[in-house]
Amino acid sequence: MAERFGGAHSPANSRPGADPVRQAVAEDRRVDAAGARSNLLFVPAVLEAVLSLWSGASGLALGLAAALAMGLGAWLTREGLRAHAAYDARTVARRPAFPRKIAGGLLIGAGVGLAALHGTPVVGAVLYGIIAFALHLGAFGPDPLHDKRIDGIDTFEQDRVARVVDEAEEYLGAMRERIRALGDRELEGRVLAFQAMARRMIRSVQEDPRELPEAKKYLIVYLMGARDATLRFADLYARKHDEDARRDYEALLTDLESNFESRTARLLEGGREAMDIEIKVLRDRLAREGVRTDQPAP
């Protein structure tokens, strides 16, 4: 089935306002943080399960247990890499509640040790497991072990921002996945453009957590409503392809995008105003001390 070209020079992206769409599509199509190397970790698990079929009853039980441990370890590693990428992408972030990569390495090490028990002394099997864990840790690294914070901002406020951002990203992710399932490139691009605007507000709040009280209604209440409306629209459109419903949904996205844009602009202007006030106060204080700020330093 033919697909409309969606490159940077396509007619759809040459119209005014298309830059947010291209930016959102580029962000959405980033290379999966897990990558092919984490998927290769599933190969030893599959091979161990297959080879154990010809190892007798005890060998089969040991091999399947090893394959299960290695497979679960590979899955945890993949999810840990994605969680680490999301952590790195945010200015303020909480460390993962569960260290998936470390746990995945331990399970893979245990799986290798169990597989080595077939024909290897216990001490040797344990050494194989330790080596496998060390290699895993060297290849994928540990999970983030501390929260990412901004100096000079209260810890409680940064924790609040991290919780709100996590919830907002869940709503945006649910919207993206449900619309993507419809297979409509134009509609998907429209949703991505709205999400790009929402993420501008998220970045603004991450850079200055003091803006959270003003932005929280948008990032929680409005995004929750947008997610719910998206789920209802997608269910209806998948059954009927109702064009009236599509127009109503696109109008809702336009309205939300305008509201997010205006609110984000006010947040940024408020931050600039606060900075100007702080600079004026500092200059007045320096003037009282006899230091002039209108002359360049020698």
DSSP per-residue codes, 76-95 = HHHHHHHHHHHHHH-SSBPP
In a domain, 71, yes or no: yes
Amino acid at 263: R
In a domain, 149, yes or no: no
In a domain, 79, yes or no: yes
pLDDT at 78: 92
pLDDT at 131: 95
Whether 271 contacts 203, CB under 8 Å: no
Q: How many domains does the chain have?
A: 2
Nearest Cα to Cα of residue 58 among 125, 117, 113, 129: 117
Query: Where is the domain boundary, 140, 174, 202?
Result: 140
Is 269 a residue whose pLDDT tops 50?
Answer: yes
Whether 115 contacts 55, CB under 8 Å: no
Whether 164 contacts 212, CB under 8 Å: yes
Nearest Cα to Cα of residue 48 among 83, 27, 74, 79: 74
Give the pLDDT mean for 245-262.
87
Are residues 94 and 188 located together in one domain of the fold? no
Are residues 216 and 172 located together in one domain of the fold? yes
Residue 148 has phi, psi (to 5 degrees) of -95, 120
Give the pLDDT mean for 76-96.
82
For residues 279 and 142, the model is more confident at 142
In a domain, 253, yes or no: yes
Query: Per DSSP, what are the bridge partners of residue 148?
Result: 93
Are residues 172 and 233 located together in one domain of the fold? yes
Query: Where is the domain boundary, 75, 108, 140?
Result: 140
Are residues 131 and 176 located together in one domain of the fold? no
Structural domain of residue 166, as residue ranges?
155-288
Query: Where is the domain boundary, 140, 173, 189?
Result: 140
Give the pLDDT mean for 149-170.
74
Are residues 204 and 111 located together in one domain of the fold? no
Are residues 229 and 159 located together in one domain of the fold? yes
In a domain, 136, yes or no: yes
pLDDT at 262: 83
Rounded distance between C-alpha atoms, residue 212 and residue 165, angstroms: 10
Give the pLDDT mean for 253-267.
83
Are residues 272 and 164 located together in one domain of the fold? yes
Please count the CA atoms within 13 angstroms of the CA of 38 that sit on its side-chain side.
22
Are residues 128 and 161 located together in one domain of the fold? no
**Between the CA atoms of 162, 168, 169 and 170, what dihedral angle is there, to the nearest 10 degrees?**
110
Are residues 38 and 161 located together in one domain of the fold? no
In a domain, 110, yes or no: yes
Measuring CA to CA, how many Å separate 99 from each of 90, 109, 291?
Answer: 18, 16, 53
Rounded distance between C-alpha atoms, residue 116 and residue 66, angstroms: 9
Are residues 37 and 76 located together in one domain of the fold? yes
Give the pLDDT mean for 121-143.
92
Query: Per DSSP, what are the bridge partners of residue 93?
Result: 148
In a domain, 145, yes or no: no
Question: What is the number of helices (H) and of strands (E) in the chain?
Answer: 11, 0
Among 85-99, 121-135, 193-207, top mean pLDDT goes to: 121-135
Nearest Cα to Cα of residue 249 among 263, 232, 262, 267: 232
Are residues 164 and 244 located together in one domain of the fold? yes
pLDDT at 26: 55
Per-residue model confidence as pLDDT tens digits over 44-65: 999 999 988 888 888 889 999 9
2 pLDDT band (50/70/90 cuts)? very low
In a domain, 12, yes or no: no
Are residues 105 and 224 located together in one domain of the fold? no
CA 21 to chain centre: 19
Question: DSSP E strands: which ranges in the chain?
Answer: none
Per-residue model confidence as pLDDT tens digits over 199-237: 888 888 877 777 777 778 888 888 888 889 899 988 888
Is 18 a residue whose pLDDT tops 50?
Answer: no
191: its two tokens = 């949703």
pLDDT at 136: 93
- Per-residue DSSP letter, 236: H
164: its two tokens = 């709100």
Measuring CA to CA, how many Å separate 39 from each of 34, 67, 74, 111, 122?
Answer: 8, 15, 7, 16, 29
